[in-house]
Structure 1
Amino acid sequence: MRLSVQSAPFDLGAEANAFAAAQTGAGAVVTFTGIVRDNAGTLAAMEIEHYPGMTERAIGQILDQAMARWSLSDALVIHRHGRLAAGEPIMMVATAAPHRADAFAAAEFLMDYLKSRAPFWKKEIGTDGAAWVAAKDEDEAALTRW
């Protein structure tokens, strides 16, 4: 299990290949990468803030829950902070399991909980100013299935 909260960009292909290559007993590897989205076409950047230590502990607890709940052989979470441009990777989740159902379910669980419970604060900076990103009802609602 690996967790990285970092400002540096990551290479999705290299991370996915290294994760998959390290799996010896898995029958399935699932990966997901979140991208900084520019819905209105006016996003100059997104700034992501966090408190070091607190963020890693919170995400570590989410990872521990996924490992305990599903038959995973491994899991990976990478989440960036700092200033990111539209189109840049913001986060990556990878799960490995003997069977695909556990790998998919655990990846979805991790994504839902990272979106709603990981302590990151996001500010969108656009051509018309800057605004903090508010929590969305649909993100909170997604947690009810778990």
Structure 2
Amino acid sequence: MDADKNVRITEADFDIAGEHDALKARAVGAIVTFTGTVRGDDDDGTHVTALTLEHFPGMTEAEISSIIDTAKARWSLSAVTVIHRIGRLLPEDNIVFVGVAAAHREAAFAGASFIMDYLKTKAPFWKKAEDASGESWVAARASDDAAADRWDDAD
């Protein structure tokens, strides 16, 4: 595995502070992290009782690795960690961690934002939401596509 690129797909929770410290050990000037969690209420006001995430093993890791490679080609990033959970998760559970280390904050912020936007639109994950009415697959959102598309117009 590339020491500057850490991709993990797991059912287990992750230690946010430990992941940050691992990036900090790279002796860089900036670290930006993002942690996504399960929302208890969906955008339409539906109370979500659980979210199940599925993926395509092998393909998922390869796509995330490719997203990181693209980010590292655009910005000077020292190290990147992406952890994405799968399985059945409850409200407030951690879903995703994106950590980016760079010499300067601009690259770290841009890299982390780019990676998260591309994870939402390009990584092969499927989400099934549970609520009082049953289960349903979560559809892709136009707002996520728009967020990823903005990078096509960026310098």
Q: TM-score, normalised by structure 1?
A: 0.95
Moved over 4 A (4+): none
Q: Distance between the aligned counterparts of 2:56 and 2:107, measured in 1? A: 31
Counting only pairs closer than 5 Å after superposition, residues 1-146 of structure 1 correspond to structure 2 as 1-20=5-24, 22-24=25-27, 26-39=28-41, 40=45, 42-146=47-151
Cα deviation for residue 41 of structure 1 reads 5.7
CA displacement 1:69-102 (0-9 Å, x = unmatched): 1001111100000000010010000001111000
**Residue identity (%):** 50
CA displacement 1:20-77 (0-9 Å, x = unmatched): 2x212x1100000001112236211100001110100111100111111100111110
Cα deviation for residue 18 of structure 1 reads 2.2
Cα deviation for residue 15 of structure 1 reads 1.5
Aligned length, in residue pairs: 144
Counterpart of 1:65, as a letter, is: T
Q: Distance between the aligned counterparts of 2:107 and 2:137, measured in 1? A: 35
RMSD: 1.0
Q: TM-score, normalised by structure 2?
A: 0.89
Question: What secondary structure is seen at the aligned counterpart in 1 of 2:95?
Answer: strand
Question: What secondary structure is seen at the aligned counterpart in 2 of 1:111?
Answer: helix
> Which structure 1 segments of 5+ residues have no match?
none
Q: Distance between the aligned counterparts of 1:16 and 1:96, measured in 2? A: 9
CA displacement 1:86-122 (0-9 Å, x = unmatched): 1001000000111100000000000100011110000
Q: Distance between the aligned counterparts of 1:134 and 1:41, measured in 2? A: 15
